[in-house]
Amino acid sequence: MSSTLVDVRIVMQAALLCNASAIIVAHNHPSGNLKPSSSDIKMTSQIKEAAKILSLTLLDHVILTSDSYFSFADEGLM
């Protein structure tokens, strides 16, 4: 499998059910490539906007590989 769909509504539902005030999303790249895809960037933007509407804060989006990570916040992409 080389991609997957993320339903922003389900992400927001989980945050609301947990009474969260902020969220961090994370996913893996089994390929080992840490570079965010255009889909990763678009998904981050959609989640950030949805969180804002619900008075939540998206703190970070982290991409994980077997030996490293990429943080959107650390890279100034939030």
Which residues, including other chains, have CB under 8 Å from residue 21's CB and lie 6 or more apart?
55, 56, 57
**For residue 2, what pLDDT is reported?**
64
Q: Is the distance from CB of 25 to CB of 47 less than 8 angstroms?
A: yes
**For residue 51, what pLDDT is reported?**
98
Tokens of 75: 């890279």
Does the predicted TM-score (pTM) go above 0.85?
yes
Under CATH, what is the fold of the domain 8-71?
Answer: Cytidine Deaminase; domain 2 (3.40.140)
Q: Check pLDDT > 80 for residue 12.
A: yes
* Overall average pLDDT of the 1-24 stretch: 91
pLDDT per position as a tens digit, 27-51: 999 999 999 999 999 999 999 999 9
